[in-house]
Protein backbone atom coordinates (compact mmCIF):
# COMPACT_ATOMS: atom_id res chain seq x y z
CA UNK A 1 0.00 0.00 0.00
CA UNK A 2 1.31 3.40 -0.96
CA UNK A 3 0.33 6.23 1.40
CA UNK A 4 0.75 9.95 0.84
CA UNK A 5 1.05 11.83 4.13
CA UNK A 6 0.14 15.50 4.28
CA UNK A 7 0.96 17.88 7.13
CA UNK A 8 -1.18 20.79 5.86
CA UNK A 9 -0.33 24.43 6.27
CA UNK A 10 -0.17 27.64 4.29
CA UNK A 11 3.35 28.70 5.26
CA UNK A 12 4.74 25.14 5.10
CA UNK A 13 2.88 22.08 3.81
CA UNK A 14 4.69 18.79 4.35
CA UNK A 15 4.22 16.07 1.73
CA UNK A 16 5.50 12.51 1.90
CA UNK A 17 4.98 9.10 0.33
CA UNK A 18 5.74 5.80 2.03
CA UNK A 19 5.08 2.23 1.04
CA UNK A 20 4.15 -0.65 3.29
CA UNK A 21 3.58 -4.31 2.49
CA UNK A 22 1.93 -5.27 5.75
CA UNK A 23 3.37 -5.51 9.22
CA UNK A 24 5.59 -2.77 10.60
CA UNK A 25 7.97 -2.51 7.65
CA UNK A 26 7.60 0.77 5.76
CA UNK A 27 9.82 2.45 3.16
CA UNK A 28 10.00 6.18 2.48
CA UNK A 29 9.76 7.03 -1.21
CA UNK A 30 9.77 10.83 -1.15
CA UNK A 31 9.33 13.80 1.16
CA UNK A 32 9.27 17.56 0.66
CA UNK A 33 7.82 20.77 2.06
CA UNK A 34 5.88 23.34 0.02
CA UNK A 35 6.55 26.87 1.21
CA UNK A 36 4.49 29.96 0.43
CA UNK A 37 5.33 33.49 1.63
CA UNK A 38 2.87 35.20 3.95
CA UNK A 39 2.82 38.20 1.60
CA UNK A 40 1.19 36.11 -1.13
CA UNK A 41 -2.58 36.29 -1.60
CA UNK A 42 -4.48 33.52 0.18
CA UNK A 43 -5.95 32.19 -3.04
CA UNK A 44 -2.49 31.96 -4.60
CA UNK A 45 -1.09 30.20 -1.54
CA UNK A 46 -3.88 27.63 -1.70
CA UNK A 47 -3.26 27.24 -5.42
CA UNK A 48 0.40 26.48 -4.73
CA UNK A 49 -0.61 23.75 -2.27
CA UNK A 50 -3.14 22.41 -4.77
CA UNK A 51 -0.60 22.30 -7.60
CA UNK A 52 1.94 20.51 -5.43
CA UNK A 53 -0.62 17.98 -4.19
CA UNK A 54 -1.79 17.24 -7.74
CA UNK A 55 1.78 16.79 -8.95
CA UNK A 56 2.56 14.38 -6.11
CA UNK A 57 -0.61 12.36 -6.67
CA UNK A 58 -0.01 12.10 -10.41
CA UNK A 59 3.66 11.23 -9.91
CA UNK A 60 3.47 8.75 -7.03
CA UNK A 61 -0.03 7.32 -7.58
CA UNK A 62 -0.82 6.80 -3.87
CA UNK A 63 -3.51 4.34 -2.82
CA UNK A 64 -4.68 6.58 0.00
CA UNK A 65 -4.08 10.08 1.38
CA UNK A 66 -3.49 10.64 5.12
CA UNK A 67 -4.06 14.24 6.26
CA UNK A 68 -3.65 15.74 9.71
CA UNK A 69 -6.99 16.66 11.22
CA UNK A 70 -7.26 20.06 12.86
CA UNK A 71 -8.07 19.20 16.46
CA UNK A 72 -7.32 22.03 18.88
CA UNK A 73 -5.13 25.04 18.38
CA UNK A 74 -4.97 28.28 20.29
CA UNK A 75 -4.07 30.28 17.17
CA UNK A 76 -7.32 30.56 15.19
CA UNK A 77 -5.67 31.93 12.06
CA UNK A 78 -3.20 29.04 12.00
CA UNK A 79 -6.01 26.53 12.48
CA UNK A 80 -7.95 28.09 9.60
CA UNK A 81 -4.92 27.98 7.32
CA UNK A 82 -4.30 24.35 8.22
CA UNK A 83 -7.91 23.43 7.50
CA UNK A 84 -7.92 25.31 4.20
CA UNK A 85 -4.71 23.67 3.01
CA UNK A 86 -5.97 20.25 4.05
CA UNK A 87 -9.22 20.92 2.23
CA UNK A 88 -7.62 21.63 -1.14
CA UNK A 89 -5.49 18.47 -0.82
CA UNK A 90 -8.61 16.42 -0.01
CA UNK A 91 -10.37 17.95 -3.02
CA UNK A 92 -7.47 17.07 -5.32
CA UNK A 93 -7.67 13.49 -4.01
CA UNK A 94 -11.44 13.34 -4.51
CA UNK A 95 -11.05 14.37 -8.16
CA UNK A 96 -8.87 11.28 -8.61
CA UNK A 97 -11.08 8.95 -6.54
CA UNK A 98 -8.29 8.47 -3.99
CA UNK A 99 -9.65 7.76 -0.50
CA UNK A 100 -8.74 10.28 2.20
CA UNK A 101 -8.32 9.59 5.91
CA UNK A 102 -7.79 12.21 8.62
CA UNK A 103 -5.71 11.53 11.73
CA UNK A 104 -5.41 13.74 14.78
CA UNK A 105 -1.93 14.71 16.00
CA UNK A 106 -2.37 12.56 19.11
CA UNK A 107 -3.22 9.51 16.96
CA UNK A 108 -0.08 10.03 14.90
CA UNK A 109 2.12 10.53 17.96
CA UNK A 110 0.70 7.46 19.67
CA UNK A 111 1.20 5.31 16.57
CA UNK A 112 4.79 6.41 15.99
CA UNK A 113 6.12 6.89 19.53
CA UNK A 114 3.60 5.12 21.75
CA UNK A 115 2.86 8.42 23.48
CA UNK A 116 -0.03 10.61 22.31
CA UNK A 117 1.55 13.63 24.01
CA UNK A 118 5.03 13.24 22.52
CA UNK A 119 6.86 16.37 21.36
CA UNK A 120 8.04 17.11 17.84
CA UNK A 121 11.61 16.16 18.66
CA UNK A 122 10.53 12.71 19.82
CA UNK A 123 8.36 12.19 16.72
CA UNK A 124 11.24 13.22 14.47
CA UNK A 125 13.66 10.90 16.28
CA UNK A 126 11.31 7.92 15.99
CA UNK A 127 10.58 8.58 12.30
CA UNK A 128 14.31 8.76 11.62
CA UNK A 129 14.74 5.40 13.32
CA UNK A 130 11.66 3.72 11.80
CA UNK A 131 12.56 4.69 8.24
CA UNK A 132 16.29 4.07 8.68
CA UNK A 133 17.41 7.59 7.76
CA UNK A 134 21.02 8.59 8.29
CA UNK A 135 19.88 11.98 9.58
CA UNK A 136 16.61 13.49 10.72
CA UNK A 137 14.34 14.92 7.99
CA UNK A 138 14.12 18.70 8.00
CA UNK A 139 12.17 20.83 8.62
CA UNK A 140 9.83 19.37 11.24
CA UNK A 141 6.94 19.53 8.76
CA UNK A 142 8.68 16.88 6.65
CA UNK A 143 8.95 14.57 9.64
CA UNK A 144 5.30 15.20 10.51
CA UNK A 145 4.20 14.32 6.96
CA UNK A 146 6.20 11.08 7.14
CA UNK A 147 4.72 10.30 10.55
CA UNK A 148 1.21 10.73 9.14
CA UNK A 149 1.93 8.30 6.31
CA UNK A 150 3.52 5.74 8.66
CA UNK A 151 0.63 6.12 11.10
CA UNK A 152 -1.89 5.29 8.40
CA UNK A 153 0.14 2.33 7.15
CA UNK A 154 0.08 0.83 10.62
CA UNK A 155 -3.54 1.75 11.39
CA UNK A 156 -4.97 0.74 7.99
CA UNK A 157 -5.76 -2.90 8.97
CA UNK A 158 -7.63 -1.73 12.06
CA UNK A 159 -9.48 0.93 10.04
CA UNK A 160 -10.49 -1.72 7.50
CA UNK A 161 -11.78 -4.03 10.25
CA UNK A 162 -13.77 -1.19 11.81
CA UNK A 163 -15.30 -0.29 8.45
CA UNK A 164 -16.23 -3.92 7.87
CA UNK A 165 -17.80 -4.16 11.33
CA UNK A 166 -19.77 -0.95 10.75
CA UNK A 167 -21.02 -2.27 7.41
CA UNK A 168 -22.16 -5.54 8.98
CA UNK A 169 -23.87 -3.63 11.80
CA UNK A 170 -25.67 -1.43 9.24
CA UNK A 171 -26.83 -4.52 7.34
CA UNK A 172 -28.09 -6.13 10.55
CA UNK A 173 -29.97 -2.94 11.47
CA UNK A 174 -31.57 -2.91 8.03
CA UNK A 175 -32.69 -6.55 8.35
CA UNK A 176 -34.04 -5.89 11.85
CA UNK A 177 -35.98 -2.83 10.69
CA UNK A 178 -37.45 -4.80 7.79
CA UNK A 179 -38.56 -7.59 10.13
CA UNK A 180 -39.98 -5.07 12.59
CA UNK A 181 -41.94 -3.34 9.83
CA UNK A 182 -43.28 -6.68 8.59
CA UNK A 183 -44.28 -7.63 12.14
CA UNK A 184 -46.15 -4.34 12.56
CA UNK A 185 -47.97 -4.79 9.26
CA UNK A 186 -49.00 -8.28 10.32
CA UNK A 187 -50.21 -7.06 13.71
CA UNK A 188 -52.39 -4.32 12.19
CA UNK A 189 -53.99 -6.66 9.68
CA UNK A 190 -54.66 -6.14 5.98
CA UNK A 191 -56.97 -3.19 6.61
CA UNK A 192 -54.33 -1.31 8.54
CA UNK A 193 -56.43 -1.03 11.74
CA UNK A 194 -55.54 -2.31 15.22
CA UNK A 195 -56.13 -5.91 16.26
CA UNK A 196 -59.76 -6.52 17.26
CA UNK A 197 -61.06 -3.38 15.53
CA UNK A 198 -64.00 -5.23 13.93
CA UNK A 199 -65.08 -6.82 17.23
CA UNK A 200 -65.02 -3.49 19.02
CA UNK A 201 -67.26 -1.92 16.36
CA UNK A 202 -69.72 -4.84 16.58
CA UNK A 203 -69.95 -4.56 20.38
CA UNK A 204 -70.64 -0.80 20.20
CA UNK A 205 -73.44 -1.39 17.68
CA UNK A 206 -75.03 -4.01 19.98
CA UNK A 207 -74.94 -1.66 22.96
CA UNK A 208 -76.49 1.11 20.93
CA UNK A 209 -79.32 -1.26 19.90
CA UNK A 210 -80.05 -2.17 23.51
CA UNK A 211 -80.11 1.46 24.53
CA UNK A 212 -82.63 2.29 21.87
Tell me which residues are annotated as active site. 7, 68, 141
- CA distances, 25 to each of 31, 118, 130, 164, 200 (Å): 18, 22, 8, 24, 74
Q: Rounded to an integer, what distance in angstroms lies between the CA atom of residue 49 and that of residue 36?
A: 8
- In this structure, is the dihedral angle defined by the CA atoms of residues 204, 209, 210 and 212, taken in order, positive or negative? positive
Q: How far is CA 74 from CA 71, 194, 195, in A?
A: 10, 59, 62
3 state DSSP class of 4: strand
Bridge-based pairing state of the strands 12-20 and 100-103: unpaired
- Please state, in angstroms and rounded to a whole number, the distance separating the CA atoms of residues 63 and 50: 18
Q: Look at residue 96 and give its three-state secondary structure.
A: coil
Q: Between the CA of residue 87 and those of 15, 29, 47, 95, what are the distances in Å?
A: 14, 24, 12, 12
Amino acid sequence: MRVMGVDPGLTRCGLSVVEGAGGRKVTALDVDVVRTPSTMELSQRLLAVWDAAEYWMDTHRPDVIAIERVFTQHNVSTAMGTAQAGGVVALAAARRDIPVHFHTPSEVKAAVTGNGNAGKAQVTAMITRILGFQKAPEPADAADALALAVCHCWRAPMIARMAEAEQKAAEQRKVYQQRLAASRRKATGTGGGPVGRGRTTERVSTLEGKTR
